[in-house]
Amino acid sequence: MTGPANNVHGTAIVLGKRGLIFLGPPGAGKSELAFACLAAARSQGVFAALVADDQVFISMENGQTIATRPASIAGLLELRGSGIVTLESVERAALHLAIRVIDPLRDERLPPAGERTDLGGLADLPLIRLSGRSIAPLATIAALHAEFKGEPPFS
């Protein structure tokens, strides 16, 4: 059963069977990091698709946090300063992990353990923080995610 949906500013992707949402202020690097993760996953033979860039509708369904894209932006991702690209996409996916894009020069050096983030009062997800300057975002996410979940992150 689908409940009410909140429009969240972020970028949602699916890697294998795992849904990720990148959160942060405009210009933080959400789309770039998501794009880099999609490319890295595909190069490893892992299914990877965009759900939505910029606007992500969040709802709860049967105890799962679901990300859905607005039809008007299906498959479109903005690479700031470069343009808009068209990517393989899915209309919706269950979310498992949130990534807060941070500025390593301004944000605290070590985040609290077991951090979670609220998605508009409908759901909360485990949260990891990732520098907008990361050169290997998928590797960083996999290392951090496996550390607190104890399971392969993108199976």
Read off the tokens for 39: 């490319």
**What confidence score (pLDDT) does residue 1 get?**
38
Read off the tokens for 116: 């979670």
Q: Are 11 and 56 in contact (CB under 8 A)?
A: yes
CA gyration radius, the chain:
14
**What confidence score (pLDDT) does residue 3 get?**
61
Q: Which amino acid is at 31?
A: S
Q: Which domains does the chain have, with CATH numbers?
A: 6-149 (3.40.50.300)
pLDDT string in tens for the chain (155-residue length) = 356 789 999 999 999 999 999 999 998 999 999 999 999 999 999 999 999 999 999 999 998 999 999 999 999 999 988 999 999 999 999 999 999 999 887 877 788 888 999 998 888 999 999 999 899 999 888 888 765 455 556 66
